[in-house]
Amino acid sequence: MYEKRDNRKQKPDVATLIYGKVPPQAKEFEIAVLGCCMDVNGRAIFEQVLGIIKSEECFYIDAHQKIFAALLRLFNKNMPIDFILVTEELRKTNELELVGGGAYLMSCVSKNVTDANVEYHCRVLMEKYLQREVIRICGTSTALAYEPTTEVFELLDKTSDDLYRLVSNNIQKAPMSILGGIYSVMNRMEEQKLAASDFTGITTGFKELDEITNGWQKTDLTILAARPSVGKTAFAIALVLNAAFAGHAVALFSLEMGIGQIIQRMIAAISGVEMNAINRPKMLTPSEWDRVTQASNTISKLQIVIDDSAGLTEQELRAKVRNLKQKHNTQLVIIDYLQLMSGTGKEGSREQEVSRISRGIKTMSKDCDVATIALSQLNRSMEGGTGEAKREPRLSDLRESGAIEQDADNVLFISEPTPAFTQAHPFFLGKKVITIAKGRNIGTGFIALEFNKDTQKWRDPDKGGPLFNEKTPSQGGWRPLTSQESKDAAAGDTPF
């Protein structure tokens, strides 16, 4: 519905959006900027201008847009820039008379008093441009809001996305000097040195996983993949609870389960009451009911937000995370799961659609400064072997798109240990294998964790995390992959 309107070559004229109002503009500032660029040292000044003004659309007057476009063409050709060359460039494109001829160009140069204030002039010009764009975006949204066929939530998302794109594309982050960078890095290292925690990121709640990852790091995208019924949703819920218990604000986007089912699993994990009993409250003993009530009270105090919208798009996700970041300073986002997200319909194949979603999630993590964990399905092909022929998951098993592997900073697999693997590593018998198949900053390897399906509990084999008190003798389940094993894993020839 929106694409047909967006594909028009010309944007709506802001003058037609609010009748009787003169659109924000700064004609004298536009003339001042163009005059500086066509005067002495025009190319050097134009480089300054390009640091703020990116395109001719930032100018309101049509003639000024054409002049700026000519300046940009000369700049891209590595040619010097002055009044005569700009005049000739416009003559070549038959636009000289359209801008008022050489006389108008000369008048722009003659009105130039000094180029010392060109940066300030550019900023005023950009302020007017941003005002016009806000009017255009909001005016278009207003017109669409009057149409009875408009989907209001799609309209809200589109408006939010357009405004965010306007800000991100035109308000640039200033470059930082090496001195400022050193201060920033050293201050952060000093804070980490004095911090009570031994790791820098958001706790996973599992001792060995924290030691390996140093906690979930902001801006990182971690893919957590497994076949169905292995316990990846329960593991994601454990990560949510562990981070929340550590004082972090967490958002869980569940595209598969409703909020009621998720909360029931949280209650089971904390109370230790089996899911079968929680689903049938009449089966609960008085003691179990007390534990369920206590677990519910505990969960209610945590900073957790759950969104169970079905068919969530990457644009909707980005808008919601931005909002949560502003309101609650959300630091960890978990998506269950990636393949259930919807695309825009423009990508063509499903592989292209998933690739776009994956890139969008990674961009969202960086822009919103949050750690993101996206659950993913694995291809059915990995289940081809049985018994001794059964194999461990590979990066190539990530379902529907190879771009998931490329976009992710970390890729973790949850799987049952194969017979060959448990024969070589008896400690993993009866446990789940968490394989770190890709770790941009943490390396690769595998650890053992225990999972109780009845109570949806995940725990360290040697010592319980924040949710668990049970203790068993430490066996040292973690070991890094050797360089040869890493090569074999990448090629799909895992030693286990």
- Start-to-end CA distance of the chain, whole Å, equals 51
Cis peptide before 183, with omega less than 30 degrees from 0?
no
User: What letters, b where the CB count within 10 A reaches 16 and e where it falls short, cover 103-125?
Assistant: eebeebbeebeebeebeebbebb
- pLDDT, position 59: 92
Most confident of 189-203, 231-245, 297-311, 378-392: 231-245
- Say what the pTM is: 0.62
Tens digits of residue pLDDT in 23-35: 888 888 888 888 8
Task: Report domain 198-379+386-491's class.
Answer: alpha beta
Contacts of 467 (CB under 8 A, 6+ apart): 205, 238, 241, 242, 245, 269, 270, 457, 459
Above pLDDT 90, what percent of the chain? 3
- pLDDT, position 383: 58
What's the average model confidence in pLDDT over 277-283? Answer: 82
In terms of pLDDT, which residue wins out, 308 or 241?
241
Task: Report domain 2-170's class.
Answer: mainly alpha
Contacts of 310 (CB under 8 A, 6+ apart): 255, 340
Q: How far apart are CA 208 and CA 98, in angstroms?
A: 70
> Judging by DSSP bridges, how do beta strands 371-377 and 410-415 pair with one another?
unpaired
- CA 172 to chain CA mean position, Å: 18
* pLDDT-derived band at 55, boundaries 50, 70, 90: confident
Location of each CATH 3.40.50.300 domain in the chain: 198-379+386-491
Residue 426 has pLDDT above 70, yes or no: yes
**Tokens 């940009």, residue?**
72
Q: How far apart are CA 433 and CA 435, in angstroms?
A: 6
In terms of pLDDT, which residue wins out, 287 or 6?
287
Location of each CATH 1.10.860.10 domain in the chain: 2-170
List the single range of 72-86, 191-205, 260-274, 301-315 with lowest mean pLDDT.
191-205
Tens digits of residue pLDDT in 391-406: 677 776 776 556 677 7
**Tokens 């820039």, residue?**
81
Sign of the Cα torsion 299, 304, 307, 313 reads negative
- pLDDT, position 381: 59
- 208 neighbors 442 (Cβ within 8 angstroms): no
Average pLDDT along the chain: 77
What's the average model confidence in pLDDT over 399-414? Answer: 74
> Judging by DSSP bridges, how do beta strands 304-307 and 432-439 pair with one another?
unpaired
* pLDDT-derived band at 64, boundaries 50, 70, 90: very high
Total number of residues shown for the chain:
496
Above pLDDT 70, what percent of the chain? 78
Distances (CA, A) of 340 to 209, 254, 358: 27, 9, 12
- pLDDT, position 317: 82
* pLDDT-derived band at 246, boundaries 50, 70, 90: confident
Tens digits of residue pLDDT in 139-189: 889 988 998 888 887 788 788 878 877 877 776 655 666 776 677 777 766
Q: How far apart are CA 131 and CA 166, in angstroms?
A: 11
- 252 neighbors 331 (Cβ within 8 angstroms): no
**Quick check: helix, strand or coil at residue 431?**
coil
Q: How far apart are CA 146 and CA 290, in angstroms?
A: 53
